[in-house]
Amino acid sequence: MQTNTDTPKQNRAPLKRNDPPAVQAILILLTFLFFASFIFMPLGLVFAEGFRKGAQVYLDAIREPFALAAVKLTLVTAAIVVPVNAIFGMTAAWAISKFSFKGKTMLVSLLDLPFAVSPVVAGLIFVLLLGTRTGFGSWLGEHGIKIIFSTPGIVIATLFVTFPFVARELIPLMEAQGREEEEAAITLGAKGWQVFARITLPNIRWGLMYGMILCMARSIGEFGAVSVVSGHIRGMTNTIPLHVEILYSEYNYTASFAVSSILVFLAVATIAVKSVMEKNVHNHQHTQH
């Protein structure tokens, strides 16, 4: 049984307004000017600066070994962080939306902690917890496990700043769907994993994918927390944002903008995937109603 929580809102016809054409034109023009000034122009300048010395210099900058290592580390980090956060997000959303327990309100509030804490502070927290000067960090070092100034530290810091995204997308969705379908399936003899695979997951798949895309975008562009725990070791612990920052601080502006364009490409790809998903969600909802 499909829930119809949003049916009245979705079926409601757009309101007809009688605003004068001049007002409409001004509002549309202001919107385009805002986008042009704060989005299109800055992004265009990134490419203009990257190609200032020619296409060959641009290609050399993005194919340079340190740049390729930064791209690889960024993608590897995202490839680890996104699935882990997807699992955590589904688990947290299931617990919060399906169960009643003491401390539920506090748990929901804690989900927003990474939004409230500065990423730099988050990085410092992990340095204090896992650094070589701490008892636990020293113990890890004695056993050959290095967290801070290595890839595991970057992954952990990125996990912290991105873990709310999937859960925050799924919690309201699962709360709106209620428990009726799952309870009916259990009554008919379905096991827990069957209920999740055949009922819960299909109902939340678009919200899950949307949260994963947001998580991906944030993990690729994260700077503050990663900067603290990485150590800025070229070719080893520099992600794309850190590599761009180093190039810029060395006054290698052309290379810094060239590498920055990789982040722009990744952002555009993320937006494209998000747009396709939103179109699919709209079509899916339209066929249901």
Residues 236-257: tens digit of each pLDDT = 999 999 999 999 999 999 999 9
HSE, CB side, 13 Å, CA atoms: give it for residue 274: 14
Q: Is the pLDDT of residue 6 over 70?
A: no
Structure tokens at 224: 């503050």
What's the pLDDT band for 278 if we cut at 50, 70, 90? confident
Confidence at residue 88, expressed as pLDDT on a 0 to 100 scale: 92
Out of 101-110, 132-141, 221-230, 272-281, pick the least confident.
272-281
Residue 207 belongs to some domain of the structure: yes
> Region 83-112: what's the mean pLDDT?
88
C-alpha dist (Å) from residue 261 to 37, 48, 58: 18, 10, 10
Q: Is the pLDDT of residue 175 over 80?
A: yes
Q: Judge residue 54's burial from the number of C-beta atoms within 10 Å of its C-beta, 0-12 exposed, 13-18 middle, 19 or more buried.
A: exposed
What is the rounded average pLDDT for all residues in the chain?
A: 85
Residue 122 belongs to some domain of the structure: yes
Q: What percent of the chain has pLDDT over 70?
A: 90
Residue 90 belongs to some domain of the structure: yes
Residue 224 belongs to some domain of the structure: yes
20 vs 45, which has greater pLDDT?
A: 45
C-alpha dist (Å) from residue 237 to 88, 113, 172, 205: 25, 26, 37, 34
Q: Is the pLDDT of residue 207 over 80?
A: yes
Number of domains into which the chain is organized: 1
Range of the domain at 278: 8-288
What's the pLDDT band for 281 if we cut at 50, 70, 90? low
Q: What is the CATH number of the domain that holds 141?
A: 1.10.3720.10
Q: Is the pLDDT of residue 186 over 80?
A: no
Confidence at residue 285, expressed as pLDDT on a 0 to 100 scale: 60
Residue with tokens 């896992």: 130
Residue 21 belongs to some domain of the structure: yes
> Region 124-142: what's the mean pLDDT?
86
113 contact partners, CB below 8 Å, separation of at least 6? 164
How many of the other CB atoms lie within 10 Å of CB of 85?
A: 26
Confidence at residue 11, expressed as pLDDT on a 0 to 100 scale: 47
- For 146, list phi and psi in degrees, rounded to 5: -110, 125
- Rounded distance, CA 273 to CA 257, Å? 24
Q: Judge residue 81's burial from the number of C-beta atoms within 10 Å of its C-beta, 0-12 exposed, 13-18 middle, 19 or more buried.
A: buried
Helix spans in the chain (H): 7-11, 21-35, 41-50, 55-63, 65-98, 104-111, 113-116, 119-130, 135-142, 151-162, 164-177, 180-187, 192-195, 201-221, 224-230, 240-249, 253-288
Structure tokens at 30: 């202001």
- Rounded distance, CA 212 to CA 207, Å? 9
Residue 3 belongs to some domain of the structure: no
107 contact partners, CB below 8 Å, separation of at least 6? 92, 95, 96
Residue 36 belongs to some domain of the structure: yes
What's the pLDDT band for 177 if we cut at 50, 70, 90? confident
Please provide the distance, in angstroms rounded to a whole number, between the alpha carbons at the two ends of the chain.
13
Residue 2 belongs to some domain of the structure: no
- Rounded distance, CA 89 to CA 84, Å? 8
67 vs 35, which has greater pLDDT?
A: 67
Confidence at residue 56, expressed as pLDDT on a 0 to 100 scale: 94
